[in-house]
Chain A
C-alpha cells in the first residue's frame, strides 16, 4: 500500500458519508452495518451518517471534517450522481480540496428503492460503498475545461411556446433563430377560437405576439424550414436548416392574395382541419406570419411522369374544371403542338399512372385535350423568341418529324422537312381513317406548326435525287423520321391475288380519296392491332356487308385499344379468335381463306402466350376480299442509296437510345423507323428528344448529360385517395351506330359541361398543377417555380425545442364513429367551426347545414385508456367545458358531457366548471360504449345515439344527439423519433421529450445546452406552455449569458511513453480528435475536440490511451470493490 502514500496529494485520507435520505435509504438499508464495514477499509479516516447529506448541515459536516481531519478524498453514499454529484463536488472545492477527489455511491435509486429484502439491500450498498472507496484512492486532481459560448439561441417550433421563448430571449438582447416547419408561426393556438377559462379570444392574444416575432430585430424567423442536422456541443452548436422552397420569394410577396384567387386547384385546408378549402398557393390564415404565400407542390404527378411528352395533364384538367379553356390550351401547347390530333387518337399512356385507378377509372385525358383544342378552335402557336442561322434538315413529316421541327423552330432554327408523300402528316394522314381523325383537323394542326416558320417540301423522298449525304453536307444536322411504311406479308400461297390488300395500302388509298376502294360483300381482316380495327371499320364504310376480323390469339391479347374493339363490334365487325391463315384460295380473284385453329401456349418474348397450331384443324372462310394488317417495317432503301453507311439492325435504324444519334455524327433518327410501328405520342417524344440532341450537337454541347428523365418514369408522389368519392368517367359522346355509314367522326367530343365534369375528377396528386397562372397575376413577381430548397447553417450556444404535439386520431377508436358518421367531429374541428374566421364563419352547423339541437361531448378520447394512451392529456376536460359553453352560446343546443373524472385543477378552472354546471350543461359520468346511428325509438331516428353507462345513477343510457364532439387527447408529433435523434435527446416511453429531472430540471435535457418547452415535453395547456417556455428561455439565457461553459474533464489522453504508434485509436474517434504525430510516432488527442466517450481507451492495446475520471485502474478497483462482499 505504500505506493498510494505517494499520490500527488499525499497519503489518501478518505471520509465516507452515508445519507439516510429520510427513510428513503435508512428505511431499507442498515446504515450502521455500512458504517461499520467502511471503517475497516484502508485509508478511511472517518465514516459518518446523516439524515440529509445534501442539506446545508450535511454539507457543512463534510466541509468541517475535511478541514479538521485533513481529509483529501470524500465518498458520499446517497442518491444518484446524476442528481447530487455537482453539489458534493462543490463542497470539496469550498473546503479547498480538488472537486474530483470525490466519488458517489448510488445506494438510493440503485439499492434501497429497488430492493425488497433489507439484508440484500444492505449487502449491495456495502459493495457499492466499498467500490467507491477503492476507486477514490486513485482519483487525480482535475480542472474543468472552459470553452466560450456562442450567444445565439435556436428555438425550434413556432407555436405559443416557441414564440414566447424566442421573444423572451430576444428581449434580453440575445439573437434568436426561430425555426418553424409550417408556412406560418402560431401553431395550434392560432386555430383555437377562445382560451379557457377566461374565454379570451385566442387570436387576439396570440397575433400580437406573432407580429412581435416578425418585427423583433433580434429574431431571425425561418418559417417553412426544418432542422436537418445538428453538430457541436453545449455552447457551440451548428444547426443545418433546410429552407423548403415555398416557390414564392418571401422578400417580394406582399400578401395581396391575387394569386390564390387565380389558382385553379382547391384542396382541403390543413388549418381548418379539412372542413374548409384552400388553394394550392395559399396562406394558412390571413394573420399568418410571415404574411407570405406558399405553393404546395409535391412533385411531378403520376400522369405527367408517365406521358412520354410529360404533358401537364393535372394543369389543364384543373383549368378546364374552372372553365379556363384558353389557359388550358396554353398549358397543353407547352409540350404538344398537335392537341387536336392527340386529343383524338393518343393511346394515353398517362392514364396508366392515374391515381383514380385506385378508386374507379382514370380520367379521359385525350377527351379533355380534344375539348379545349376544339373549343378554342382558331389559335396560333408561339413564335420563337430569337432566330438562329443554322438550318436543319428533316426527312419525313410524320409526328416525329413535325415535333422535331417544331421544337427546333421554337429554339430559333429554321428546319426544312422533306416528305415523300403529297401530304404532310405521315401515318396520321394516310394510316388513320377519317372517322377517327378528320383530315381537316389534322391539316389545321399541321398548318399551325408550319406557320411558325417551318419549310416543307412534299413529294421529295430522300433517295437518288436528294441523298442523305447531300443533306449532311448542306445542313447543320439531319433528323430521319421516315416511319414504317412497308407492310409485312403473310407469306402464304395466293397472297398475290387481286382482292388481297395490305391494310395500310387500303387505308392510304381510302384516305387519299381513290375511288376504286368500293369493297364487295365479304371481307376478312387479318390482325389484332389498332390498324386492323381501323381497316375493318373502314371496310364497313366502304360497302362491305360482312367484315370479320381474324386473330390468332384471343381478345385479351389483342394489342388494339379496348374502346376501339368495342366500337368495331358495335358497328358490326365480327371477331374470330385463335385462328391463323394458311392459304388464300382463288384463281382470278380471292375466293376464301384457309385457316387453322390455334391454342395458347407458354408466353413468348412479348409476354403474351404463344399461339400454337392445332394439327388437322383446318377450315375455310369464304370471302371476296382480304385485308392483311400484321405490321410494317421502315423503307430504308432510299436512305441507303449511294451507300451511306447508316447502320440498321432487324430492319430498323440503330440509334443511341439516350440521344437518338445514329452511327453518322449529326444524323439523328426517331419514331417508327427506329422502334418499328408504335403510337403517335412515342414518335412525338422521339422527335423532341432528337431536337434536344440536335440543339446540343449544333452548339457543341455534351449530348448525353442529364437526360435520364426525358422518357416516362415513375412519379415519386405517394398520393392519398382517402376521402375521395368514386366517380365514374364521363362517357365520350358518339354518333349512334345507325349514323355511322359515312366517314363522319364517330366521337363528337365533350360539351363544356361534360368536359368540366370529367376534368373535376382529377385528384390533383401534386397539389400545385403548375399552370403558372399565379405568376401572371403577381405584380411584384414573387412567384418562382424554379426556386430550390436551400440550406443555412446557424451557430448557436443553446437550443430550445418547442415542437408541440399532434391530436389523437379518433379513427383509431371505431366505436366512436369518427370518419364513418358525418356528424362526429374532433374538438379541434369544432374550434374551427366556432371561429369567426373559420370555414363556416363562426356558425356551428352540421355538414348538411343544420344547426344541432343536441350535442354530446365525449371526454378522454385517446387518453386514460390502455388501448390507446394511458396518460391523461390534461387539457381535454377544460377544452370540453369551453366548447360546451361556446356551442351552447352559438346554437342554444342542449349539451351532454360524458366524462370519466372531471379534472379541473388550475386557477379559475374549477370555477369555470361550476359555471357550466349552473348553465345547465348535462354531465354524465361514464365512458361511452359506442356512437351509433342504429335507432330504436322514433326520437332516435336520423340521429346519432350515444350509448353510455351513467355510473352515478347506475343505469345504461341511450341519448340521441345531432352532433358528437370527441375530446381527443394530445400525442407526441409523428416525427418525434427523428427530431429526438437529430438533437440527441431522449424520449419517455410515450414519446414525449424527456426532461433531465421531472422536478429539479424540468426544462433541461440530458444533452447540455438543449432545453424543452411546451407540449413536446408532455401535454399541457397554454399557461403552462408559456411558463415553461419562459423557464427554458431563462435556462438558455443563463447558459449563453455567462459567455463560457465548463465541460467535464473526462477527456481521453495518450501516455506518450506507452504509445506504440499502432493507430488503432484513430479511426475509432467519431470526432476526429486523435491525430498521429509523425515526428514522435505516437498518437495525440486534441482535448478541445474530445467528448470523453472512451472508445479509444477501451481499444488501445498498450494501455497508452487513458481517460480522466475513468482510468482503467479506477475501474478495476471499482470492479474489485463491488465484488468485495461476495
Chain B
C-alpha cells in the first residue's frame, strides 16, 4: 500500500485521485453524472462530506500520504453554499494549502478545487478526466518513506500506523 509497492507493478501508471465532495452540490452532480451514464476516468475515489467547509487540510495531506497522486475538492458555487459560506472557507484553506504543498515539494496542480453545482454532471466528468490527464503528465507522487513508530492523532483507535 505504499508508493514503493505500486511502482513495482508492471501496469502503466494509473493516477489515483481522492475526491472530497460536498453532499449538496458536487456529490449530487457526481450522482447525476452516473444517472446520465457519463463515462469518465475510473481513477477517482469520492468521499462524501456535508460541506466543502468540513475539509480539514489534514485530510488532503492524509490522502497524499496514503498514496493519492491528486486530491480534488468539490463544493457549491460561490453564493450557493447550503451552509451559506462553507465553500468560502474551503477556498481560503485551499489557497493556503496549495502554498504549503509547494513548499513541501508537491506540485500545486495535484490539489484542485472546483465549484460544481448539482446540475453539472458534465463538469464532474470533465474535471475528473482533465485531472487524470494532468496527473498522468506529472507522474506518480513520490513521498519520502514515513517515519516509523510515530503515533499521530490520525489513527488514535487503530493503535498504530499501517
Contacts and interface: CB of A to CB of B under 8 A. Distances in A.
Interface in B34-54: 34-35, 37-40, 42, 45-51, 53-54
Given A138-B157, A1119-B66, A113 B37 contact: yes
A986 B25 contact: yes
The main secondary structure of chain B at its interface with chain A is: loop
Interface stretch (A124-132, A418-426, A578-586): A124-132
A114 B59 contact: no
Interface in B4-28: 6, 16, 18, 23-25, 27-28
Nearest to A984: B82
Q: Which of B34, B84, B85, B155 has the most CB of A within 10 A?
A: B34
Interface stretch (B101-109, B112-120, B143-151): B112-120
A128 B45 CA distance: 7
B30 interface: yes
Contacts of A121: 42
A1123 interface: yes
Interface string A974-995: 0000000100101111000010
B58 to A, nearest CB: 8
Interface in A1058-1085: 1068, 1070
Contacts of B162: 1120
Contacts of B25: 986
A121 B85 CA distance: 35
Contacts of B23: 82
B45 A1098 contact: no
B131 interface: no
B74 interface: no
Given A1006-B28, A1115-B59, A1124 B50 contact: no
A972 to B, nearest CB: 12
B42 A1126 contact: no
Contacts of B99: none
Interface in A1105-1126: 1107, 1110, 1112-1113, 1115-1120, 1122-1124, 1126
Nearest to B128: A114
Interface residues of A, number: 60
Interface in B52-109: 53-59, 62-63, 66-68, 79-80, 82-86, 89, 93
Contacts of B55: 1098
A1070 B83 CA distance: 7
A1008 to B, nearest CB: 11
Contact of B40 (A82, A114, A988): A114
A115 B132 CA distance: 14
Nearest to A123: B42
B49 A1115 contact: yes
Interface string A708-743: 000000000000000000000000000000000000
B111 interface: no
Nearest to B24: A1006
A311 interface: no
A588 interface: no
A1122 B59 contact: no
Nearest to A1050: B50
A1091 interface: yes
Given A1068-B89, A1126-B1, A1094 B66 contact: no
B107 to A, nearest CB: 19
A109 B30 contact: yes
Given A80-B31, A1093-B53, A988 B155 contact: no
Contacts of B27: 82
Contact of A1115 (B6, B47, B119, B153): B47
Interface stretch (A1-9, A487-495, A877-885): A1-9
Contacts of B153: 1103, 1112
A1120 B42 CA distance: 18
B89 to A, nearest CB: 5
A1088 interface: no
Contacts of A1118: 47
Interface in A136-189: 138
B118 A986 contact: yes
A1095 B88 CA distance: 10
Contact of B47 (A117, A1103, A1119): A1119
A349 interface: no
A1120 B31 CA distance: 23
Given A114-B34, A123-B42, A1120-B162, A989 B120 contact: yes
Contacts of A110: 30-31, 34, 46
A1094 B119 contact: no
B51 A1093 contact: yes
A356 interface: no
Contact of B159 (A1, A108, A124, A138): A1
Contacts of A1098: 53-57, 89, 93
Contact of A1126 (B67, B118, B157, B158): B67
A1113 B155 contact: yes
Contacts of A1006: 24, 28, 82, 118
A81 interface: yes
A114 B37 contact: yes
A1122 B47 contact: yes
B138 interface: no
Contact of A986 (B46, B51, B83, B117): B117
Contact of A1123 (B57, B63, B119, B155): B63
B93 to A, nearest CB: 7
Contacts of B135: none
A1113 B157 contact: yes
A120 B122 CA distance: 21
A3 B157 CA distance: 6
Nearest to B153: A1103
Given A986-B118, A1070-B83, A1110 B50 contact: yes
Contact of B16 (A111, A1113, A1116, A1126): A1126
A666 interface: no
Nearest to B62: A1119
Contacts of A128: 45
B100 to A, nearest CB: 15
A803 interface: no
Contacts of A693: none
A106 interface: yes
A1092 interface: yes
A1098 B49 CA distance: 11
A449 interface: no
Nearest to B39: A116
A986 B27 CA distance: 13
A988 B117 CA distance: 9
A106 B1 contact: no
A113 B49 contact: no
B28 A1110 contact: no
Contacts of B62: 1116, 1119-1120
A38 interface: no
A1097 interface: yes
Contact of B83 (A108, A988, A1095): A1095
Contacts of A116: 39, 42
A1123 B58 CA distance: 16
Contact of B119 (A3, A989, A1092, A1095): A989
Given A110-B30, A128-B45, A1119-B47, A1094 B117 contact: no
Contacts of A1092: 50
B16 A1095 contact: no
Q: Which of A106, A1095, A1115 has the most CB of B within 10 A?
A: A1095
Contacts of A120: 42
When A and B form their complex, which 7 residue pairs have the shortest distance between CB atoms, in order from nearest? A109-B34, A1094-B54, A1122-B45, A1093-B83, A1095-B53, A120-B42, A1093-B51
16 contacts: A106-B31, A109-B30, A110-B34, A110-B46, A120-B42, A986-B25, A987-B117, A1070-B86, A1095-B54, A1095-B86, A1098-B54, A1115-B56, A1118-B47, A1122-B47, A1123-B63, A1126-B16
Given A1120-B62, A1122-B47, 8 more contacts: A1-B159, A114-B37, A987-B119, A1068-B53, A1093-B83, A1110-B50, A1112-B56, A1117-B155
